[in-house]
Amino acid sequence: MKAIELKHPLIEHKLSILRDKHTGTKEFRELISEIAMFLCYEAMKEVELKNVTIETPIEEMKTGQLEEDRYAFVPILRAGMGMLDGVIKVVPNAKIGHIGMYRNETTFEPVNYFFKVPKGIENREVFLLDPMLATGGSAIDAIDLLKEKGVKKINFLCIIAAPEGLKAVEEKHPDVKIVCAHIDRELNENKYICPGLGDAGDRIFGTK
């Protein structure tokens, strides 16, 4: 499944501010949340709706409604939390899980330290959230954990993706839909995305 890249002037505009090293914490958080909302819209473009009958002020009509309880958002801690507010605005009644990972700065491999998902996660469509898809290690591990729980439909939403990370995830989990705001050029020797936007977690939480 080929990754979906949002190509839109508004996205490019918002990314230009997000990438700027002079952008402050408050604005950075707000932009991450806004872009996450757009990613969620795109990822849910083909979801099925249930048929319902409602009454408008004028007449009765048949229409479609989302069964919000069928969905779960799972941010990869800690940076994924920055995207949560935006996607919850789209599907406010979705269930929320958390996967805790950090990167070993020597091996660059992800280390898992926390996994908590809603009951019945295997019956829900899951949207994994992480602003950066770099090597793909964290995404692959998180998807593995969800599949071990029986989840069959998984989407991965990220702000910036590196070609190396996309290739790794697509090879290991070709059934997972990846939606990103932009595919960047490459990873550098420290496995940071170039041109990227720096460490998303640090910039969201103001820890550096």
Q: Phi-psi category of 190—alpha, beta or left, where left has phi over 0 and alpha has psi -120 to 50?
A: alpha
User: The CATH number of the domain where 33 resides is what?
Assistant: 3.40.50.2020
Cβ of 191: how many Cβ atoms within 10 Å? 15
Structure confidence at residue 112 (pLDDT): 83
Q: Phi-psi category of 17—alpha, beta or left, where left has phi over 0 and alpha has psi -120 to 50?
A: alpha
153 falls in which pLDDT band (50, 70, 90)?
very high
Q: Which domain holds residue 16?
A: 4-205
154 falls in which pLDDT band (50, 70, 90)?
very high
Strand, coil or helix: what is 70? Answer: helix
E strand or H helix at 42: helix 25-43
| Global confidence as pTM | 0.92
Q: Of 77, 116, 113, which Cα lies nearest the Cα of 96?
A: 116
Count up the domains in the chain and report the number: 1
Residue 5: strand pairing partners: 180
Determine contact, residues 11/35, Cβ cutoff 8 Å: yes
Query: What are the phi and psi torsion angles at 170 (to 5°)?
Result: -65, -35
pLDDT of 1 strictly over 70: no
Place of tokens 């910039």: 203
Structure confidence at residue 101 (pLDDT): 80
Give the pLDDT confidence of 33-78 residue by residue, as tens digits: 999 999 999 999 999 999 999 999 999 999 999 999 899 999 999 8
- Considering the chain, what percentage of its residues have pLDDT values greater than 70? 99
pLDDT of 109 strictly over 80: no
Decide: residue 153, CB within 10 A, 0-12 exposed, 13-18 middle, 19+ buried. Answer: middle
E strand or H helix at 148: helix 137-148
107 falls in which pLDDT band (50, 70, 90)?
confident
Determine contact, residues 72/125, Cβ cutoff 8 Å: yes
The residues annotated with a catalytic role in the active site are: 103, 107, 199, 202
Structure confidence at residue 5 (pLDDT): 96
Give the pLDDT confidence of 186-199 residue by residue, as tens digits: 999 988 999 999 99
**Cis, bond preceding 92 (omega within 30 deg of 0):** no
